[in-house]
Chains A and B, each alone.
Chain A
Amino acid sequence: AQSVTQPDIHITVSEGASLELRCNYSYGATPYLFWYVQSPGQGLQLLLKYFSGDTLVQGIKGFEAEFKRSQSSFNLRKPSVHWSDAAEYFCAVERNNFNKFYFGSGTKLNVKP
């Protein structure tokens, strides 16, 4: 069965520190991969996505993610976190051509001043 795992429920980092949020998926083929951010009371905003090609994907707000087929992972990174990055982050996969998204359970990011 399709599944998306975000092993870290909560992460706290200091402002200016680097960040890595983990995401693993289980699926027979390479799905489309996404990272979304959700601020309280707001909808999901797309940070970046991977369909094919270069495995290092650049997104908005200085985020990037790397697809590693051998590890079935799509980890999100940012070299220097800002206080405004505090939010909940969701990894999602879409089975090719099925139009169905499967979301991870989310990682809540806190940023210390």
Chain B
Amino acid sequence: GAVVSQHPSRVICKSGTSVKIECRSLDFQATTMFWYRQFPKQSLMLMATSNEGSKATYEQGVEKDKFLINHASLTLSTLTVTSAHPEDSSFYICSARDFYNEQFFGPGTRLTVL
């Protein structure tokens, strides 16, 4: 099946710094990519939807200036957590939708902000 990768898998940073997370579709072109946040023992919450070459659409309550999303190509989307704070610590998961509208998920990135 189709593979979606995320890099890094784990990142620890100091409060106030910015962190970039990459999401790549390895063997298919993704018309749309999604970013989710998963809190411990909770479900995945959709943060934003991004389409290649256009601005991301953010879910209600998600700060677009804090969570910058860039979808530069049909195989790459990046999420930058700007001026990270401890409350931003979470598990971030991306997914990519192919031309058949099937959605494939990445393995996730564990962000810890000290």
Binding site for B on A (CB under 8 A): 4, 9, 36, 41-46, 90, 99-106
Contacts and interface: CB of A to CB of B under 8 A. Distances in A.
B79 interface: no
Contacts of B42: 105-106
A41 B110 CA distance: 9
Contacts of A45: 105
Interface in B70-108: 93, 95, 97, 102-108
A41 B107 contact: yes
B4 interface: yes
Contacts, number: 44
Contacts of B45: 103
A44 B4 CA distance: 10
Contacts of B54: none
| Residue among B34, B45, B103, B104 facing the most chain A CB atoms (10 A cut-off) | B103
Interface of B: 4, 9, 32, 34, 36, 41-46, 49, 93, 95, 97, 102-108
Contacts of A106: 41-43
8 contacts: A41-B108, A43-B4, A99-B32, A99-B49, A100-B46, A100-B49, A105-B41, A105-B43
A43 B49 contact: no
Nearest to A88: B41
A99 B97 contact: yes
Nearest to A106: B43
A42 B108 CA distance: 7
Contact of B106 (A4, A43, A101, A104): A43
Contact of B34 (A4, A101, A105): A101
The 6 closest A-B pairs by CB, nearest first: A44-B105, A43-B105, A103-B43, A43-B107, A105-B43, A103-B44
B22 to A, nearest CB: 14
Given A41-B107, A44-B93, A106-B43, 11 more contacts: A9-B41, A42-B107, A43-B4, A43-B105, A43-B107, A99-B49, A102-B46, A103-B45, A104-B43, A105-B43, A106-B41
Contacts of B49: 99-100
A36 B105 CA distance: 10
